Amino acid sequence: SVTMKHKGFCFIEYFVPEAAQLALDQMNGVLLGGRNVKVGRPSSVPAAAPYIMKLNQEAQAYHRIYVSGLNPAVPEQAVHSAFENCGTIRAFQLAPDGRKGHRGFGYVEYQTAQACATALAKMNLMQLAGCYMRVCKAVTPPFALQVPTTSCEQSVTQTAQPGMAGGMPPVAGNFLSKLQAANAIAVNHAQEQSIHHEEAIHISGGSARLMLMQKLQRKDESNVVVLRNMVTPAEVDSDLPAEVKDECGRFGVAQQVIIHEQLEGGIQVIKIFVQFMLAHEAQRAIKGLHGRFFGGKTVRAEIYDRDKFERDNLSA
């Protein structure tokens, strides 16, 4: 937007499915900037669901884990040795960076399920060379998906498994093309979704009151209040924004206060804009402030168009 501020939500696409699964498992609920981050899959992935399920079923046949958060300066052999402590490794490969090094993530396949379970239990969040590793069960079988290098043209290579002609199981051929096509459909569908679809995302726990950042701020539910006739230009000082923010704190979370001076009918007037976190907080402020006497003047409190506010159009 023109204000260079985000709306509190975004879509993130990872190179490999396991990275997305790690984000779902380990980032959901994490405190960031004073708020608990809510992480979930887009509501528009049904087109790819059958292929994702098939990949997951294929992956169950392998004792394979995904590792990320590695320090790129650590040699592959050192990483191999660290994970070898959990059991006999059948296949090991880190994503190359194109410069004889690795990109800090890759896959480890063990001979037994017990070794795989031990690695999942012991290695996740273990510190190695100053970096905390993130470990999860692989949700794709070997060779099912390409792991891009920095040029996004090479794939991670692994030792061919028994029964895989040329190291490539049936899942990697026509199936991969179908998965990529389904993923493209899902991505395009996600971009076309309206705010109504985003409201369908389930949010639980103490953050339910936020309802996905005011249900992604529907256009007819602005969270911006404009206060008129509260002060004159001569009464504006550096303390005014903080004073207004404190006063509005009784109605909800006042995110920012903007003092705007403009000419109306040949007279310089002051308009005070208060942006709340939620639309119902703005409505509460209207009820509490409109018609209130302040310094001998009657305050007029009104809802202000959020789109105009975000475009810095404060003269309406």
Write out pLDDT tens, residues 162-183. 333 333 333 344 444 545 555 5
pLDDT the model gives residue 60: 87
Q: What residue ranges of the chain have pLDDT lower than 70?
A: 1-4, 43-48, 144-220
Backbone angles phi, psi at 201, to 5 degrees: -65, 130
Here the tokens at position 28 are 């959901």
pLDDT the model gives residue 185: 53
**Whole-number Å distance between alpha carbons of 52 and 116:** 22
pLDDT the model gives residue 194: 44
pLDDT the model gives residue 45: 62
SS3 76: helix
For residue 283, the surrounding DSSP H or E stretch is helix 279-289
Here the tokens at position 272 are 């005070």
**DSSP category for residue 174:** H
Whose tokens are 């475009």? That residue is 311
**DSSP category for residue 85:** T
**Whole-number Å distance between alpha carbons of 25 and 315:** 46
CB contact set of 243 (below 8 Å; sequence gap of 6+): none
Distances (CA, A) of 112 to 87, 90, 124, 217, 281: 8, 9, 18, 50, 56
Write out pLDDT tens, residues 57-91. 888 889 999 999 999 989 999 999 999 999 999 99
